[in-house]
Amino acid sequence: MNKQLIKAIEKRLVYRRNAETKASFYRQSGSSEVLPLRINFSIDPVGFQRIAQTGRAAIYRKVADCKARFTRKDTPSPYWIANSRTEERVSFSLWDCPDFPLLLGFADVGRTNEHGRIENTPDLVVIVRTLDNCRDTLDVRIYPGLYRQREAVLTILNEEVRKQGPTIF
C-alpha cells in the first residue's frame, strides 16, 4: 500500500466533547462533508448497544461505539441518503487493534439505507489515541474504500503517529 495514496484520500476530523455531556462530541476541524457536526461516542464496554458474539464480535473486542444523526445544519455527505421516510444516521462499533497501540480502534462506517436499516460501507474509520485517551478529544481518520486493506492502512498510520508523537488539539 502506498503511503502517498493513503494520505491523499484520508479524511481527518477532530471532535471535542461537550463539557456538559458524557458522550456528545462536536467537530472542531476537518471536512464538513463526511460525518455530522455532532456525534455520540462512548468508550463504555457495553456502549450504546450490546453486540451478539457472532461475526466480527467473535474475532475482535469492541472498544467503543459511535452514533450520529444528520440534521439540516449538516453538509451533504456520502453517508447521507436523503429521503423523507428514514432518519439519516451513521453508526459503527470500534474494534480493538492490539497490534497497533497508538490507535484506539477501527471500524467500517455504517449508514442508513433507503429502508432505514444500517448497512456497512467499504470505508475504513480509525480513531487515533489522543493524550486524554479519547475521553475529551477524538482524532478520526476515514479512508474511503479501504476497509479490506485495513492491515496495511493501520500499519502505516500507526508508524506515522509513532514518528510524529501525540497530537495536541
pLDDT one-digit tens code per residue, 154-167:
999 999 999 987 66
Q: At residue 56, does pLDDT exceed 70?
A: no
Look at residue 169 and tell me if it is in a domain. no
Q: Cβ atoms within 10 A of the Cβ of 155, count?
A: 13
Q: At residue 147, does pLDDT exceed 90?
A: yes
Residue 138's pLDDT band, with cuts at 50, 70 and 90, is very high
Burial 125-142 (b: 16+ CB within 10 A, else e): bbbbbbeeebeebbbbbb
Look at residue 104 and tell me if it is in a domain. yes
Which range has the worst mean pLDDT, 121-125, 140-144, 165-169?
165-169
Q: Quick one: the chain helix, strand, coil %, rounded to 5?
A: 15, 35, 45
Contact 3, 156 (CB under 8 A): yes
Alpha carbon distance, N-terminus to C-terminus of the chain: 29
Look at residue 83 and tell me if it is in a domain. yes
Q: At residue 142, does pLDDT exceed 70?
A: yes
Per-residue pLDDT reduced to its tens digit, 2-49: 889 999 999 999 999 999 999 999 999 998 889 999 999 998 766 556
The per-residue pLDDT for 30 is: 92
Per-residue pLDDT reduced to its tens digit, 88-115: 888 899 999 999 999 999 999 988 877 7
**Cα dihedral across residues 138, 146, 2, 101: positive or negative:** positive
- Residues 6+ positions from 27 with CB-CB distance below 8 Å: 13, 14, 15, 35, 36, 37, 38, 39
Number of domains observed in the structure of the chain: 1
One-letter amino acid for residue 158 of the chain: N
Look at residue 58 and tell me if it is in a domain. yes
The per-residue pLDDT for 116 is: 77
Look at residue 147 and tell me if it is in a domain. yes
Per-residue pLDDT reduced to its tens digit, 64-89: 999 998 887 777 788 777 666 667 88
Residue 55's pLDDT band, with cuts at 50, 70 and 90, is low
Look at residue 73 and tell me if it is in a domain. yes
Look at residue 72 and tell me if it is in a domain. yes
Residue range(s) defining the domain that contains residue 66: 3-164
Look at residue 130 and tell me if it is in a domain. yes
The per-residue pLDDT for 79 is: 78
Q: At residue 54, does pLDDT exceed 60?
A: no
